[in-house]
Amino acid sequence: MGYVGLPLAVAFAEAGHDVVALDVDRRKVNALRAGRSYIEDVSDDTLGSVLHRIVATTRPAQLARCDAVLVCVPTPLTANREPDLGPLIGATQALASVLQAGQLVVLESTTYPGTTRERVAPILSESGFLAGKDFNLAFSPERVDPGRTDFTMRTTPKVVGGLTEACGERAEALYREVCDTVVRVSTPEAAELTKLLENIFRSVNIALVARRPRASRPAIAPATSGSALRTPSRLQADRVTSLCLATDSTPRRALKPTDRRSAGRRGSTQVPSPDLFVFDDCHWVCSPNDRNRVVEHLNRIG
């Protein structure tokens, strides 16, 4: 029930579904039960309006009564910067212990191509049910860019790749409830790769913006913003840098806009929290190692 899971839970509740909101973090579960949102894209009012349809819990057993289970756990990097599938494997094992025939399972976490078929399916099959036969399995990358209002969950095309044709069809039908456009791709691997390519694209854009002379940014950004290869504005660069690239794995607290504003001074290399700092009016969230490298780089290019 983080940046990805909570908005999804709210969207399905708004579409009229009963939702089980499962998280291992008891504080989040308690906040949800009290109608308190800790995610900036979900207001307390919005959460409050659908709270009667959401059961927040730490008990995986509750998943047994769901038609569909969407897995949105963190996929961080290890200290060696390799994928750390620990949370995903933990969540999948918990799900395997309560999996029911006929359920649809969709992995939403950002991960490398092959994860759904090679890592998730075998663990779920320990339940005695076969993926693609007894239950449906698909991958659908979350593409949300928290804080943006021009692209929302409903208006951002949702990419879906099923283990079988039937898995893809079922996942597509599910997401049509909350997204205007669903793009079916042939396999989970294809869907996993789209996310990887999208993140690389955004990452390169950020690097370009970061290297551009500061004075030229306001002049250039409006001219390029309509292009398919648009360079992100400063704000977009901030968002993209802070979430969903490799850095999104860094443990971080939920940031409200007020936190961001008060987090540091213009041009300061002072680090106000372990994972957030402000430089040249941009807010960056990254690991301490990356942070030092970014500060060094920005200082070097002036």
Residues that bind ligand NAD (CB under 6 A): 1-5, 22-25, 28, 72-75, 87, 90-91, 94, 108-110, 142, 144, 146, 243-244, 248
CB of 61 to ligand NAD, least distance (A): 13
Q: How many CA atoms lie within 13 A of 122 on its CB side?
A: 6
Residue 186, token pair as written in the block: 């042939």
According to DSSP, the β-strands at 19-22 and 104-107 are unpaired
Q: Is 70 helix (H, G, I), strand (E, B) or coil?
A: strand
User: 3-state secondary structure string, 141-193?
Assistant: CCCCCCCCCCCCCCCCCEEEEECCHHHHHHHHHHHCCCCCCEEEECCHHHHHH
Residues 6+ apart with CB under 8 A from 6: 21, 32, 37, 39, 42
Contact 143, 159 (CB under 8 A): yes
CB of 229 to ligand NAD, least distance (A): 21
Name the burial class of residue 79, with classes exposed (0-12), middle (13-18) and buried (19+) by CB atoms within 10 angstroms of its CB. exposed
Could you tell me the smallest distance in angstroms from the CB atom of residue 91 to ligand NAD? 4
Sign of the dihedral defined by the CA atoms of residues 154, 232, 139, 252, in that order = negative
Q: How far is the CB of 2 from ligand NAD (least distance, A)?
A: 2
Q: Which is nearer to ligand NAD, 24 or 220 (CB)?
A: 24
Q: Which helix (H) or strand (E) holds 20?
A: strand 19-22
Least separation in angstroms between CB 219 and ligand NAD: 29
Smallest distance, ligand NAD to C-beta of residue 75, A? 4
Helices 188-211, 234-242: crossing angle, 10 deg rounding: 130
**Range list of β-strands (E), 31-151:** 54-57, 68-71, 104-107, 136-139
Q: What does DSSP say about strands 276-279 and 282-285: parallel, antiparallel, or unpaired?
A: antiparallel
Q: For residue 266, give the amino acid letter.
A: R
From the CB of 265, what's the least distance to ligand NAD, in Å? 26
CB of 36 to ligand NAD, least distance (A): 14
Q: Measured in whole angstroms, how far is the alpha carbon of residue 187 from the centre of its chain? A: 20
